[in-house]
Structure 1
Amino acid sequence: MDGQGPLAIKFSSCRGVSFEPKPSPASPFAVDAAACAAEPAASAFSKAGRWLPPPFIRNYSTSTFFTAHSRANSHFCDLDLDDIEDDTEGESCDEDEEMAFASAVDGVSDAPSRSRRSASVKRAKKAAGGHSRLGVILLDQGLFTVYKRLFVLCVALNALGLAFAATGRFPAGRQHAAVFAMGNILALTLCRSEAVLRAVFWLVVALLGRRVVPVAVKTGVTAILQSLGGVHSGCGVSSLAWLAYALAQARRELHVNVNALGVGAAILGLLALSCAAAFPLVRHLHHNVFERTHRFAGWGALALLWAFVVLSARGSHGHGPRATIAVLAKRPELWLAAAITFFTFLPWITVRRVPVTVTAPSTHASIITFRGGVKAGLLGRISRSPLSEWHAFGIVSDDGDTHAMLAGAVGDFTRGLVSDPPSHLWVRGVHFAGLPYLIGMYGRATMVATGSGICVFLSFLMQPSSCAELSLVWVAKGIDANYGEGMSAMVANNKILGGRVVVHDTATMGRPNVAELAVGAARRWSAEVLIVTSNPEGSRDVVTACKKAGIPAFGPIWDS
């Protein structure tokens, strides 16, 4: 179908066969273009229960874009987007999530009754080897993923240097073990600095977003950038080893500063606590515990690090203030500590408490509207209590006066947005770049979303990007009822997509095989890469199917 100009929107059947419906006037997909053109855009938002603010409809033919009913739905997101709202502490998989698992594995073609749901879920789990959601996140993505390779590479290089230092073949490592420990801490800090990563992602897209660059190079860089968490965790473990070695060496010296040794031991304990909290099992089952422990233990270790640097410069006999400053200025520990501190607190410099407008069209989602436009493909973090927890969401913007976040009510924080909508929220001024941002590096890309995962891609439907051709596959339940009467029409008439769309409403068309839809769409429109946002099971299935078909594909990983 390539090269034939704009295509009509395709609605796939549950068997993976696409067809063009000819809706009757009573159909929820029918759009009266004349009526839409005659109705002023502003009037469309004079009613209650709108999904997004008025500026988001200025470029579309339907005035009912994102109009939503307040009718509750027991299955708002056909497949939940767990990677965007990672608030799972104390939560268990409810029936909707169980059905999401079943639909991702079995591709159930009709809507089963409640009694059949449980049997379908059990069969799906059995077919998947009985893996838990944690197993899917940690194991089913592969034993030799890029993330794990980067982790092993970092640990191996540090272990090699440590072994040479211990055997006397690496004098610099033996004499400056604390410097190597701090170097690892700086590296892991940079891997999590949103400002640094925003600059890196922008530079990569600017340099590699050219047709002359091979697709293999682009996908390789995408895989590495997506998996920088492996470097973060690898450097964290390595810093423990180097610091332990440095303390062991210091104990053997005759002129060691006992206070510095004690502070170093405290730092080692806090780093060990931080690493233990980040262990995958703890992080998945008790995410809030992980986040708070990781943050406050890290801050405590950073404060003690400054004490360690100063005490080490004073030596065992002690120096006066001037002598200590002179010694510090010549020591790399000072500059490493300064760099670590700067990049650690850089995001906090931009933290602001801003007014927001929160609307809850149903009990299963909320729309948070902010002032100011945002570039396509970026994500943002919000919080009610900035010292406690932060939550990341995809940003919907038309690069105008406002932007918004679509938050599915799947955790304590997001449910609170529905039951107790705030008037103000804390935000980080630096919006960070995630996997969707890298779409701009490719010439043709297919976006696959399930349920509220569409929010990550909506900005690409409103703002032109450097990607020449975008295509979309969206699977959700009750699209017009839950996302607005004009949602399907907006997607169908979208000029940027040019008709390269597959929309599957499970409420009327049954549960599809999302992986088959994704592979079919990527082949149909000759996509260079496919990006999927779904729950862990759905993302795994789509990425696996695409790789078998020879299509480069990326989805959120557990430590994205």
Structure 2
Amino acid sequence: MTATLPTATESVRARLKRRPWTHHNRLAAAVVAGNVVAATAGPLDVGVLTWLVLGNLTLAVVIRQQLVINLLFRLATAAPLRRSLRLRWTLGKVYHFGGLHVGGTLCATAWFFVLTGVLTARGGPAALLLTSWAIAVVLTGMIVLALPRLRARRHDLFERSHRFGGWSLLVLFTVHSVLLAGPDFVGSGPFWVLLVVVTSVALPWLRLRRVPVRITRPSPHVALLSFDYGVTPFAGSSTALSRNPLLEWHSFANVPAPGRTGFRLTVSRAGDWTGALIDDLPSHLWVKGIPTAGVGNIDKLFRRVVWVATGSGIGPCLPHLLSGETPARLVWSTRHPRRTYGDELVDEILAVQPDAVVWDTDSAGKPDLVELALSAHRDFDAEAVICISNKKTTWHVVEALEARGVPAFGAIWDS
């Protein structure tokens, strides 16, 4: 039976939930607006410009720190269920915090160019000017490579530029601050700010380790990774994996099972790295940092949720379905689920989700996920929908549901 779909309203409120008016972009705009206000508060001398650069740089770096991310999610999801749905809907957008990173980076770069111009006009020491322009060049290169289209086409280059460029910037900023402040640098405000930034960047790498992994391959399309090295992550978290820790990292949703140590990951063939992992089945992988909260963590803000997944998107949904902490209904669209993911995984899902809508695209074709989600949302009397899929599908489902007044959430590919 076809669900009766709510009309997609075109009110101002509905339009403001679509790109480019996302919470991510609103946060970036708020940072820019705050900097504009700060710029009008007084004369922009070298000291003020230095603090504007360091303040924005600190925001850009610290907001990406794993401990800070987990704290943001913990605070946002602490709201009691008795609070209004509108408030909980807004708090559920906590994963848009990357807008603060973007806003801080853009403003830090803009102010640094102003600072460099002032220092150049003043005719400062050659070493200071050389360091200033080196920082300006590195910042510009990182921003250019982070532009969405270029980043999507050359993701490995983007990732390496952020890693090695970021480390280079920490050294250059420290040298720049020493040259600017002279012997008074140690113990000064910039000294402590840079110490916080360096510590924030270093912490995940201090937990770098090479750990054993057991991999099963139910089909040439999917690998199921099992870890048990003393860490049992929380549901809704992710772990970063690498085979070469200096070159590239890939994050996957953790699947802990209630009452068992360790966790699993579901990896589908979606590029060179995942393809090589599925084909090679390594015995060890590198991990760093700590399990980090992701979009699925916001399910605890709602009384009942619908999970919409396509393909291996079932992985991030599975720990929430297994834990049963928030009543849930699953809508899963995938190619021949048992042949692709194996009987064991499918039976595990159906054991906790006997009423799940499992759509086999091999036999039934491509579904209308918006209609399926709305039907499940209505029949299950859910408060929200969480979609785990590829970028195009996620954005389509989330925007279509929110235009109909349904709180919907999904990754925004900003990290």
Would you say same fold, with TM above 0.5?
yes
Q: Distance in 2 between matches of 1:306 and 1:454?
A: 45
Aligned to 2:211: 354
SS of the residue 1:227 aligns to: helix
For residue 379 of structure 1, give the secondary structure of its aligned residue in structure 2: strand
Of 87, 91, 95 in structure 2, the residue corresponding to residue 221 of structure 1 is 91
Shift of 1:202: 2.1
Q: Compute the TM-score of the two structures, normalised by the length of structure 1.
A: 0.68
Shift of 1:160: 4.1
Q: Does 1:152 find its partner at 2:29?
A: yes
Conservation of the 8 A alpha-carbon contact between 2:59 and 2:101: yes
- Correspondence 1:420 to 2:290: no
Secondary structure of the corresponding residue to residue 404 of structure 1? strand
Q: For residues 7-50 of structure 1, what are the alpha-carbon distances to aligned partners after superposition, in whole Å with 9 as ceiling and x for unaligned?
A: xxxxxxxx757xxxxxxxxxxxxxxxxxxxxxxxxxxxxxxxxx
The yes-or-no answer on 1:261 pairing with 2:129 is: yes
Q: In terms of Rg, which structure is larger?
A: 1
| Pairing of 1:239-278 with structure 2 (within 5 A) | 239-253=108-122, 256-278=124-146
Which runs of 5 or more residues in structure 2 are unaligned? 4-16
Matches within 5 A, 1:286-435: 286-314=154-182, 324=183, 327-371=184-228, 372-399=231-258, 400-435=260-295
User: Any conservation in 1 of the 2:222–2:341 contact (CA below 8 Å)?
Assistant: no
Provide, for residues 214-241 of structure 1, a one-character-per-residue CA deviation record: whole Å limited to 9, x for no partner: 2211211222x22122211111111111
Return the offset for 1:328: 2.1
In structure 1, give the amino acid aligned to 2:42. Answer: F
- Are 1:536 and 2:391 an aligned pair? yes
**CA separation of 1:458 and 1:228: change in aligned 2, threshold 3 A:** same
User: Are the aligned partners of 1:369 and 1:405 in contact in 2 as well (CA < 8 Å)?
Assistant: yes
* Residues 516 and 545 in structure 1, CA contact (< 8 A), matched pair in contact too: no
Letter in structure 1 aligned against 2:189:
P
- The counterpart of 2:53, out of the listed 171, 177, 181, is 181
Report the 3-state secondary structure (helix = DSSP H, G, I; strand = E; otherwise coil) of the residue aligned with 2:162: helix
SS in 2 for 1:550: coil
Does residue 332 of structure 2 align to residue 474 of structure 1? yes
Contact 1:352–1:429 (CA under 8 A) maintained in structure 2: no
Give the structure 1 partner of residue 12 of structure 2.
none
Question: Does 1 or 2 have the higher relative contact order (CA < 8 Å, sep 6+)?
Answer: 1
CA distance in 2, matches of 1:241, 1:549: 39
Distance 1:511 1:428 in 2: 38
Note closer, same or farther for the CA distance 1:419–1:493 as it changes in structure 2 (3 Å cut): closer
Question: Which residue in 2 is equivalent to 1:27?
Answer: none
- 135, 146, 151: which one pairs with 1:283? 151
Instruction: Give the corresponding residue for 1:521.
Output: 376
What secondary structure is seen at the aligned counterpart in 2 of 1:342? helix
| 2: CA distance, partners of 1:429 / 1:193 | 10
Q: What is the percentage of aligned positions where both structures have the same residue?
A: 31
- TM-score, length-scaled by structure 2: 0.90
Aligned equivalent of 1:237, options 82, 88, 106: 106
Which residue in 2 is equivalent to 1:94? none
Counterpart amino acid of residue 246 in structure 1: L
Q: Distance in 1 between matches of 2:45 and 2:265?
A: 48
Out of 63, 69, 72, which is 1:191 matched to? 63
Q: Which amino acid aligns with 2:87?
A: V
Q: Which residue matches 1:554?
A: 409
SS of equivalent to 1:559: coil
Distance 2:313 2:237 in 1: 14
Q: d(CA) in 1 for partners of 2:2 and 2:343? A: 25
Counterpart secondary structure, 2:232: coil
> Cα offset for 1:493?
2.9
Higher helix share: 2
How many residue pairs match? The answer is 399
Q: In structure 1, what is the Cα distance between the partners aligned to 2:366 and 2:130?
A: 61
Amino acid across the alignment from 1:390: W
Q: What whole-Å deviation, never above 9, does each CA across 1:492-519 have from its counterpart, x for those lacking one?
A: 331xx5x452222223333321110001
Q: Alpha-carbon deviation of 1:301?
A: 1.0
Unaligned runs of 5+ in 1: 1-14, 18-139, 315-323
